[in-house]
Chain A
Amino acid sequence: AQRVTQPEKLLSVFKGAPVELKCNYSYSGSPELFWYVQYSRQRLQLLLRHISRESIKGFTADLNKGETSFHLKKPFAQEEDSAMYYCALSADNTDKLIFGTGTRLQVFP
Chain B
Amino acid sequence: GAVVSQHPSRVICKSGTSVKIECRSLDFQATTMFWYRQFPKQSLMLMATSNEGSKATYEQGVEKDKFLINHASLTLSTLTVTSAHPEDSSFYICSARGTSGSAGYEQYFGPGTRLTVT
Contact = CB atoms under 8 A, between A and B. Distances in A.
Given A43-B109, A43-B111, A97 B34 contact: yes
Interface residues of B, dominant DSSP: strand
A100 to B, nearest CB: 6
A96 B46 contact: yes
Interface residues of B, number: 18
Contacts, number: 35
What is the interface residue range for chain A against chain B? 10 to 19
B67 to A, nearest CB: 16
Contact of A100 (B32, B34, B43, B97): B43
Contact of A44 (B42, B49, B97, B109): B109
A68 interface: no
A42 to B, nearest CB: 8
A96 B43 contact: no
Contacts of A43: 4, 109-112
Contacts of B97: 95
Interface of A: 43-46, 86, 95-102
Interface of B: 4, 32, 34, 42-46, 49, 93, 95, 97, 106-107, 109-112
